[in-house]
């Protein structure tokens, strides 16, 4: 019993949540804060001052010495500048200061973060503003206050603000449509998100011996290990003691911050694992995922491990995704994507389903853009990652319901909702109304949609923002139609039928890796944006600018600047990888091949053959290296962002692949005594 009480005391102990607020601020302030969060209105100054004082006293009692505005710039990670509570009092003493002003507003240097041209170097002022909907927390004796981040001129420079705006937009339109179909009780809706986090763990001592892992987060070359994932024995396998310790320490850290891992297990690839938290609201889920990644890196380092979040750290095995499970519920806890026992008769569910299907079809390029960046290019389309073509999986039963609606027929349930396991089984297992399709970018999984395209290193803010806004847009259009109708029930039925009929093409339950699907998708008119260079221009298409500006998510200028940031990021990562590969070739591989050839006596026929083969490959690598150097030089001379993007995608990436092909062959020939870098076998199978 005492151990359980200790667990309860630890959970959320470093989080300034409602339990803590009850002890440190007045009941009146707590009530006003709750109402402001519910109605999304500004806190009165007096209440903010009371909260600031209570937050300071709580943080000091927890041992905090500094505070920071914790925000999420456009580079996708978090930022913080620590300010001390302690200041001189002018009388040889000191006082602890933290006022409403320090809580509500900070002034980071806006010119030093990615802005896509929104801020010049000399225009430094930016503002961080407290987000009262997200709890403050303590990390490393620093009080962290979640904030939004904008420029002095008002343009948004972070990922949190658009997410909050998209939640508001969806809330407005969802409540509006619910009123029109007879729901007069729901006051607000909540976007629920649960991001599954995949990652690799490797020994730190081996990580430090590979410049590509240190600088790029992935291996730029490496011959296949003799064993990969063919036996499928790692997935859900017994967790090794070293990994168990890592997971236990992660849980200890996360519990203190009120974050609970629902599942943790071995993933498919060797040295790959997954952690999935409980569902929570979208804003909190986004903050918690950023914290989780930071803590995982820190705990790994403490245990002489390295946690890799790159989407494809090792070729030939599964990459790492961040599957975003997304749903919408009312303030009474009713899931609007729950089909119930008889989905065909659930009008509310069918209306929200139809709106979502329509939205994904009309704005598939927007969802593709949300996941377009260098790391994901090497992951999508293979080893259980979804292909680049956006489609929606709904399962056999829902597909049957949809087709019956389109035909205007009554749906007849064809299947059994129970599974019988064994001849004399005593219990029947309830059966979900969908299977799971690992190759689908957007899959309905019972009462939510799983967006499987995001990569493991990225912030979930943009994918969730885009899911929210396309849903808000479709509900808005549906509400506009229903408001003009006198026969609401009949209009709803016709609207559902029309949306599903016109957007049936986006539904696909089959194998997304099959070449036949690529051909079928083209016949259906679905775009195949194969890589980042093809996807990013869609970010600023008139259609996508319109939906995001009309719903109040971005201005046109903000969208254009974000696209510029993403082009710069893609090109920067690609060129860093190319330069890293060139240095590893020059400083390591050429010398290793030379030493190997020098040491080869040539007394036997097989030695001569090996030497000839290694020498020929060395020559091939020299030519491939020169070609890559020329491509990097061409990039450095390129003018426009579009030209640089074209050089990176069309020239540098293929030439890096050509270098890798030769290096991987050399690794299989050159004696291990001479090979200068840890191999895939060592990296993935040492723990």
Beta strand pairing call for 142-151 and 66-70: parallel
Give the span between the Cα atoms of 675 and 210, in whole angstroms. 12
Q: Is the predicted pLDDT of residue 2 greater than 60, yes or no?
A: no
Mean pLDDT throughout 449-457? 95
pLDDT score for 385: 76
Q: Is the predicted pLDDT of residue 221 greater than 80, yes or no?
A: yes
- % of residues, the chain, pLDDT over 90: 77
Mean pLDDT throughout 661-678? 97
Termini Cα distance of the chain: 36
Identify the three-state secondary structure at position 19. Answer: helix
Greatest Cα-to-Cα distance within the chain, rounded to the nearest angstrom: 95
Q: How many residues does the chain have?
A: 687
Residue 119's alpha-carbon distances to 60, 109, 157, in angstroms, are: 36, 10, 10
Compare 94 and 317 and report the one with higher pLDDT: 317
| pLDDT band with cut points at 50, 70 and 90 for residue 124 | low
Give the span between the Cα atoms of 588 and 586, in whole angstroms. 6
According to CATH, where is 1.20.120.1560 located in the chain?
568-685
Mean pLDDT throughout 185-212? 97
Beta strand pairing call for 429-430 and 418-419: antiparallel
In tens, the pLDDT along 361-411 reads 999 999 999 999 999 999 987 656 788 999 999 988 899 999 999 998 887
Q: Which range, of 110-124, 212-226, 400-414, 549-563, averages the lowest pLDDT?
A: 110-124
According to CATH, where is 3.30.590.10 located in the chain?
197-318
- Taking alpha carbons only, the member of 551, 549, 553, 531 closest to residue 541 is 549
- Taking alpha carbons only, the member of 471, 600, 567 closest to residue 166 is 471
Q: Which residue has the tokens 């009008």?
A: 347
Give the span between the Cα atoms of 161 and 27, in whole angstroms. 29
Q: Is the predicted pLDDT of residue 614 greater than 80, yes or no?
A: yes
DSSP 8-state code for residue 110: G
Residue 596's alpha-carbon distances to 34, 296, 347, 537, 600, in angstroms, are: 70, 40, 72, 47, 6
Mean pLDDT throughout 619-623? 98
Q: Is the predicted pLDDT of residue 3 greater than 50, yes or no?
A: no
Tokens of 214: 């240190």
Give the span between the Cα atoms of 602 and 612, in whole angstroms. 10
Give the span between the Cα atoms of 199 and 312, in whole angstroms. 10
Tokens of 191: 């976007």
Q: What is the CATH number of domain 197-318?
A: 3.30.590.10
Mean pLDDT throughout 146-159? 88
Element (H, E) at 352: helix 347-362
Tokens of 684: 């993935």
- Taking alpha carbons only, the member of 500, 213, 198, 475 closest to residue 328 is 475
In this structure, which topology does domain 2-157 adopt according to CATH?
Answer: Ubiquitin-like (UB roll) (3.10.20)
Mean pLDDT throughout 478-496? 94
| pLDDT band with cut points at 50, 70 and 90 for residue 6 | low
pLDDT score for 117: 72
**Which neighbouring-strand residues pair with 7?**
none
CA 430 to chain CA centroid, Å, is: 31
Give the span between the Cα atoms of 363 and 654, in whole angstroms. 30
Mean pLDDT throughout 66-79? 92
Identify the architecture of domain 568-685 in CATH: Up-down Bundle (1.20)
Q: Which residue has the tokens 């992660």?
A: 250
Compare 421 and 398 and report the one with higher pLDDT: 398
Average pLDDT across the chain, whole number: 91
Identify the three-state secondary structure at position 378. Answer: coil
- % of residues, the chain, pLDDT over 70: 93
Mean pLDDT throughout 341-361? 92
Element (H, E) at 250: helix 241-256
- Taking alpha carbons only, the member of 66, 101, 97, 96 closest to residue 84 is 66
Mean pLDDT throughout 490-494? 94
DSSP 8-state code for residue 109: B
According to CATH, where is 3.10.20.70 located in the chain?
2-157
Compute how many other C-beta atoms are within 10 angstroms of the C-beta atom of residue 33. 21
Give the span between the Cα atoms of 364 and 372, in whole angstroms. 13
Q: 200, 273 in Cβ contact below 8 A? A: yes
SS3 per-residue string spanning 190-238: EEEEEECEEEEEEEHHHHCCCHHHHHHCCCCCCCCCCCCCCCCCCCCCC
Give the span between the Cα atoms of 33 and 52, in whole angstroms. 12
The upper half-sphere exposure of residue 574, i.e. CA atoms within 13 Å in the direction of its Cβ, equals 33
Mean pLDDT throughout 306-317? 96
- Taking alpha carbons only, the member of 504, 505, 544 closest to residue 368 is 544
Give the span between the Cα atoms of 145 and 134, in whole angstroms. 8
**Which neighbouring-strand residues pair with 105?**
129
In tens, the pLDDT along 429-440 reads 444 555 555 678
Give the span between the Cα atoms of 593 and 599, in whole angstroms. 10
Identify the three-state secondary structure at position 363. Answer: coil
Tokens of 8: 């309860």
Mean pLDDT throughout 180-192? 95
- Taking alpha carbons only, the member of 260, 265, 285 closest to residue 275 is 265
Q: Is the predicted pLDDT of residue 1 greater than 80, yes or no?
A: no
């Amino acid at each position: 019993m005492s151990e359980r009480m200790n667990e309860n005391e630890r959970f959320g102990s470093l989080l300034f949540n409602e339990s803590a607020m009850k002890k440190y601020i007045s009941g009146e302030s707590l009530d006003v804060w709750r109402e402001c969060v519910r109605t999304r209105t500004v806190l009165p100054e007096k209440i903010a001052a009371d909260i600031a004082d209570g937050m300071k006293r709580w943080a000091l009692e927890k041992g905090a010495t500094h505070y920071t505005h914790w925000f999420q710039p456009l580079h996708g990670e978090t930022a913080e500048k620590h300010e001390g509570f302690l200041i001189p009092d002018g009388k040889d003493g000191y006082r602890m200061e933290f006022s409403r002003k320090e809580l509500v507003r900070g002034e980071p240097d806006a010119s030093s973060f990615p802005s896509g041209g929104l801020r010049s170097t000399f225009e430094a002022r930016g503002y961080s503003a407290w987000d009262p909907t997200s709890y403050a927390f303590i990390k490393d004796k620093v009080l962290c206050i979640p904030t939004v981040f904008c420029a002095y001129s008002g343009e948004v420079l972070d990922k949190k603000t658009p997410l909050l705006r998209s939640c508001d937009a969806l809330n407005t339109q969802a409540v509006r449509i619910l009123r029109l179909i007879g729901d007069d009780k729901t006051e607000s809706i909540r976007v629920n998100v649960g991001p599954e986090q995949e990652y690799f763990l490797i020994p730190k001592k081996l990580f430090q011996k590979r410049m590509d892992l240190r600088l790029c987060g992935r291996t730029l070359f490496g011959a296949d290990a003799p064993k990969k994932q063919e036996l499928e024995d790692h997935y859900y396998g017994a967790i090794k003691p070293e990994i168990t310790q890592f997971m236990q320490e992660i849980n200890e850290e996360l519990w203190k911050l009120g974050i609970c891992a629902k599942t943790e297990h071995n993933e498919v690839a060797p040295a790959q694992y997954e952690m999935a938290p409980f569902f929570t609201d979208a804003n909190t889920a986004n903050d918690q995922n950023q914290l989780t990644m930071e803590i995982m890196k820190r705990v790994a380092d403490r245990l002489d491990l390295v946690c890799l979040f790159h989407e494809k750290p090792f070729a030939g095995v599964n990459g790492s995704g961040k599957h975003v499970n997304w749903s919408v519920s009312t303030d009474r806890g009713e899931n609007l994507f729950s089909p119930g026992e008889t989905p065909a008769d659930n009008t509310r569910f069918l209306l929200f389903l139809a709106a979502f299907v329509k939205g994904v079809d009309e704005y598939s390029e927007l969802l593709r853009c949300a996941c377009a960046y260098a790391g994901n290019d090497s992951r999508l389309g293979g080893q259980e990652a979804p292909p680049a073509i956006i489609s929606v999986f709904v399962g056999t039963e829902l597909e049957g319901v949809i087709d019956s609606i389109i035909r205007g027929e009554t749906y007849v349930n064809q299947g059994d909702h129970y599974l019988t396991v064994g001849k004399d089984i005593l219990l029947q297992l309830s059966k979900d109304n969908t299977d799971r399709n690992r190759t689908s970018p957007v899959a309905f999984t019972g009462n939510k949609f799983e967006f499987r395209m995001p990569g493991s290193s990225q912030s979930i803010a943009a994918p969730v923002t885009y899911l929210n806004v396309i849903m808000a847009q479709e509900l808005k259009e549906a509400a506009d139609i229903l408001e003009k109708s006198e026969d609401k029930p009949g209009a709803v039925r016709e609207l559902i039928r029309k949306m599903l009929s016109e957007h049936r093409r986006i539904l696909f339950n089959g194998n997304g890796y099959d070449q036949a699907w690529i051909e079928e998708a083209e016949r259906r008119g679905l775009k195949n944006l194969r890589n980042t260079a093809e996807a990013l221009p869609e970010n600023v298409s008139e259609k996508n600018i319109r939906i995001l500006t009309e719903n109040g998510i971005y201005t046109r200028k903000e969208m254009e600047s974000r696209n510029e940031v993403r082009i710069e990021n893609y090109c920067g990562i690609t060129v860093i990888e190319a330069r890293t590969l060139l240095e590893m070739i020059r400083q390591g591989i050429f010398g290793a091949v030379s030493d190997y050839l020098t040491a080869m006596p040539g007394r036997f026929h097989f030695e001569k053959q090996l030497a000839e083969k290694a020498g020929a490959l060395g020559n091939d690598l020299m030519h491939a290296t020169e070609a890559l150097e020329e491509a990097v030089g061409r990039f450095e001379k390129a003018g426009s962002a579009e030209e640089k993007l074209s050089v990176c995608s069309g020239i540098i990436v293929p030439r890096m692949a050509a270098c890798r092909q030769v290096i991987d062959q050399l690794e299989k020939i050159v004696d291990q005594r001479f090979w200068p870098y840890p191999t895939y076998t060592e990296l993935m199978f040492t723990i």
